[in-house]
Amino acid sequence: MKIQTIETKNLCESAKNGGCGECQTSCQSACKTSCGIANQQCENKVEE
């Protein structure tokens, strides 16, 4: 049996250094009619 784990951002870890608020506002730029945050970039250089 096989389980392959894709490398992802650890959300629990991001609780330590995240929350700077530098990232884009949710539906700001392209769609204007719905909300998603999954496609946004993190701009927190400390966290990175």
Partner 1 sequence: MIHSYKLGGMNIVLDICSGSVHVVDEVAFDIINMYENAERQDIVKEILSKYPDDPEVTAESIEECCDQIEELKSAGKLFAPDTFRPIAGELKKRTSGVVKALCLHIAHTCNLNCSYCFASQGKYHGDRAVMSFEVGKRALDFLVENSGTRRNLEVDFFGGEPLMNFGVVKQLVEYARSIEKEKGKNFRFTLTTNGILVDDDVIEFSNREMSNVVLSLDGRKEVHDRFRVDYQGRGSWEQIVPKFQKFVKARGNKNYYMRGTFTHNNPDFLEDIKTMLDLGFTELSMEPVVCAEDDPSALTNEDKGIVMEQYEKLAELMLQKYREGEPFTFYHYMIDLKGGPCIYKRVSGCGSGTEYMAVTPWGDLYPCHQFVGEEKFRLGSVFEGVTNIEIQDEFMSCNVYTRPECQDCWAKLYCSGGCAANAYHATGSVKGVYSYGCDLFKKRMECAIMLEAAKTLDGVN
Residues that bind partner 1 (CB under 8 A): 1-12, 14-15, 17-19, 21-44, 47-48
Name the DSSP class of 17. Answer: H
Name the DSSP class of 35. Answer: -
| Residue 45 beta carbon to partner 1: minimum distance, rounded to whole angstroms | 11
Strand, coil or helix: 12: helix
| Residue 46 beta carbon to partner 1: minimum distance, rounded to whole angstroms | 11
| Residue 44 beta carbon to partner 1: minimum distance, rounded to whole angstroms | 7
Strand, coil or helix: 11: helix
